[in-house]
Amino acid sequence: MRDRDIEMLARIEATLYAAGRPLSVEEMQKAAGTDSANKAIKMAREIAQTINSCLHALELVELQDGSFTMQLKLQYNNVVRKFATRPFLSHATLKTLSCVAYMQPATSKQLVEVRGSQVYGHLKLLTQSGFLSYQKLGRLKIYQTTKKFQDYFGIDGDLDKLKKKLVKKEAKSKNIPLAQPILEKTVPNSA
């Protein structure tokens, strides 16, 4: 099998896994980067054969409408129900995490000003989860992201690149043109 085909298989598999819903042939074509519906279907069936023969609790199913879905086998629904009732991190907690990632090092006071008093619960959960660490400066805590955060979210170690990506994404989502950074003027100390 050619490297391109392996990459296309991996892209369809990853998309089916991440979607959490049935995917149409067109969506799988887009994920694989192919114009051929037949190729996308053939690859999805190949993935299904591998998953269905090797995995015990998961299956890849072709539905009657021609879409494909990766799902838990019916007999395991009750086993996982208590674990899957809510996401690991709430939307609000993820927002707090992104604020820390952008502002770091960020004090708890700065985060409360930006996110409100609920931030204390978020920071506790994020610290317990290993995504944040802090240093104490008197009674003040200064937060920053950890290596686990970078690994979990697939971020390389350059924090400046991360900040630029966050700014671009936010600006793009709000259709705001990116301006050049404003350099702060320093006033000489006239003591």
* Structure confidence by residue, pLDDT tens digits, 48-95: 999 999 999 999 999 888 899 999 888 888 888 777 767 778 889 999
What is this structure's pTM? 0.50
* Structure confidence by residue, pLDDT tens digits, 142-155: 999 988 888 777 77
Contact 40, 32 (CB under 8 A): yes
C-alpha to C-alpha distances, 33 to 1, 26, 90, nearest whole angstrom: 17, 10, 32
Right CATH for 91-172 from 1.10.10.10, 1.20.120.140, 3.90.550.10, 3.40.50.800: 1.10.10.10
Q: What angle do CA 50, 53, 56 make, to 5 degrees?
A: 115
Place of tokens 């129900």: 81
Which of 31-40, 59-68, 173-182 bottoms out in mean pLDDT, i.e. has the lowest?
A: 173-182
Query: Coil, strand or helix: which one is 174?
Result: coil
- CATH 1.10.10.10 range(s) for the chain read 3-80, 91-172
Under CATH, to which class is 3-80 assigned? Answer: mainly alpha
Strands (E), the chain: 58-62, 68-72, 106-107, 132-137, 140-145
C-alpha to C-alpha distances, 160 to 101, 116, 152, nearest whole angstrom: 10, 25, 18
Rounded Cα distance between 142 and 185, Å, is: 26
Query: Coil, strand or helix: which one is 19?
Result: helix
